[in-house]
Amino acid sequence: MDAPVSGGDIGARDAKLAIMVGGEEEAFEAMVPVFSLMGENIQLQGPAGSGQYTKMANQIAIASTMMGVCEAMAYAKKAGLDQKKVLATIETGAAGSFSLSKLAPRMIDGDFAPGFYIKHFIKDMKIALESAEEMDLKTPGLTVAKQLYELLAEQGEENSGTQALYKYYR
């Protein structure tokens, strides 16, 4: 079985992780009580390895989303808007996401403490890029996000949280 998770430090602390499981149905059913101690959204994705593929899909979605959230917050600031008011308005609409609701406030407040480290995100993006390449799938958003995060890591931000991407846009 494989069972990667998503939800960051808060999800882990509150036992609200999303758990992406790959494995046999019988083994999955036997493990659900254990997984339930750590998470609420527990899904069997398919055979062993499917959890990891699902985690990579998650990381691909986050990579481009984080660029969009950072760009939006930087744009709001440059336009002379109150970033917190903009955030309160757009987070309940079509732009809504975990990154927007949970990480944008931290960006605005200058809180770049890790919920998920940049260095680990870079590792995941590398794995996702290699996997996509094996599938002959183009992922330009992921490619750009990885480049930006690598730039931040080179500047000493590898132990910051993923929301530190905002620093690139400031």
Active site residue 167: no
Q: Which of 13, 12, 6, 15 is nearest to 45 (CA)?
A: 6
Classify residue 93 by burial, with Cβ atoms within 10 Å: 0-12, 13-18, 19+.
Answer: exposed
Tokens coding 59 = 């990381």
Judge whether 152 and 160 are in contact, CB under 8 Å: yes
Helix (H, G, I), strand (E, B) or coil at 113: coil
- Show the 3-state SS of 56-79: HHHHHHHHHHHHHHHHHHHHHHHC
Judge whether 59 and 121 are in contact, CB under 8 Å: yes
Instruction: Determine the angle formed by the axes of helices 118-134 and 50-78, rounding to 10 degrees.
Output: 120
Active-site residue, from 55, 102, 119, 167: 55
Active site residues: 55
